[in-house]
Chain A
């Protein structure tokens, strides 16, 4: 874990974020901050507004209202400067299937202007124990291998902020466990700030320092996994998740 001084610096600052799509409210009113070196889980049932929040943070979607500051800069006018210091990994995106792993990583390194790309690629492939896949065509990889290649891509530019959208979604328990441990290790060693969405509550309990529980576009609970579990009088985040999904409206009023 990083020292207190580092953790006190705010990397992400979201204030009263609202996003509507043709009158449908995806995010009603969300405010939160993320400190440097934290791993923050964004949780919630389908339609809670997690993905939209992540998309806004990545500059893929513009907010209807509210403000988003990353590294102390307003997102919209400084989008490219901010993205230079971020990266993203999602179970729902892929790297071009017909390119070899090393070619895909080389292209991604080019997009971020990574110096000494070959050495960086080798270092990351070795870290994720997939050096042997370097010359394999990406489309021939298993889902576990693809995820690890995507994570290599996401770490190529030494990001200060990493957004992970269900990174373990397609992995078997063994590989998922390895990936979780690796992410935790990378965060410890490099102090990367991470925002993590997942439907796998075990992932979240193991990886995240803090969680934001979203329901119908609002944060209904926030704190360490243990604090959130205690707040809902449940035994695990999974039970909290089920409770929120089934009776979120009532809980929102109570909370």
Chain B
């Protein structure tokens, strides 16, 4: 944790990265929505901002949570510091927990800035929904962490050749997770797949809250239950891959590349 505090205090590019991409997304999606409203492409235009900007901000929480875990690991690979970490008495669980906390702090800052800008630019107040958003935030964090563990485990196993996964893995689920459109837009055969992803229940639930229909207990229960499964599976996968990496001498290889 201390290391990342120093890193972010020292590095302008890293601080910028926390804000830059989310800000670009917010501007693009915000103005796309404005344009679609003008040409009458979105029915129920009062909700258009809410759905698209809400989805964009929510997606960013998931994405940043995953990145928090994976990029923290990659930072140590890039700086050839990985061995210094893994030959210290730090347990793997403690290492992973630290990456969760780094992700959480990054998200808190990013969401705060995005919510402020969304209000300033588009009069969209994310926090007007109050406490009902918190369980959704929590679920998105859990999905991001589970994906982060899987991505990091894959990088540990396949080395720097698999680095692109750090940015690519979340986008594998995006098309089927009903992020920017409702579940019923997807073809029937794809909907069971979508429903097996916790993010689908979060985004469906978010739209329901934004429509003013209240929090769907069913959506939240499904999201929490699926997340519990994916987190345990992610942790087991990470542990297994860590064992494989030690058996094959991959940690040492990755740490000195």
Q: Which positions in A face B, CB cutoff 8 Å? A: 19, 21-22, 26, 51-52, 55, 58-62, 80-81, 83-84, 86-88, 90, 92-100, 103, 106-108, 110-113, 137, 153
Contact = CB atoms under 8 A, between A and B. Distances in A.
B224 to A, nearest CB: 32
A53 to B, nearest CB: 12
Contacts of A84: 89
B84 A108 contact: yes
Residue picked from A80, A93, A98, A100, most chain B C-beta under 10 Å: A93
Given A60-B246, A94-B80, 8 more contacts: A52-B249, A60-B255, A61-B252, A88-B83, A93-B255, A94-B81, A95-B81, A103-B6
Contacts of A107: 2-3, 6
25 contacts: A51-B252, A58-B87, A59-B87, A60-B86, A60-B255, A61-B247, A61-B252, A83-B87, A90-B256, A93-B80, A93-B83, A93-B255, A96-B3, A96-B75, A96-B79, A96-B81, A98-B7, A98-B11, A100-B6, A103-B3, A106-B2, A107-B2, A108-B88, A111-B88, A153-B84
Contacts of B84: 88, 93, 95, 108, 111, 153
A80 B89 contact: yes
Contact of A93 (B7, B75, B90, B256): B256
B91 interface: yes
Contacts of B82: 93
Nearest to B84: A93
Given A61-B249, A107-B3, A83 B83 contact: no
A59 B87 CA distance: 7
B98 to A, nearest CB: 10
A112 B90 CA distance: 8
A96 B7 contact: yes
Contact of A21 (B81, B249, B256): B249
B83 A60 contact: yes
Contacts of B26: none
Nearest to B90: A111
Contact of A99 (B10, B85, B249): B10
A175 B201 CA distance: 62
B211 interface: no
Nearest to B243: A62
Main secondary structure of the interface of B (DSSP, over half): helix
Contacts of B3: 96, 99, 103, 107
B251 A60 contact: yes
Contacts of B90: 80, 111
A92 B82 CA distance: 11
Given A88-B84, A93-B81, A93-B256, A110 B2 contact: yes
A111 B89 contact: yes
A30 to B, nearest CB: 16
Interface in B57-114: 75-76, 79-91
A139 B91 CA distance: 28
B87 A94 contact: no
Contact of B10 (A21, A22, A98): A98
A86 B10 CA distance: 30
A97 B79 contact: yes
A214 B246 CA distance: 23
Contacts of B89: 80-81, 83-84, 111-113
A222 to B, nearest CB: 25
Residue picked from B6, B82, B86, B251, most chain A C-beta under 10 Å: B6
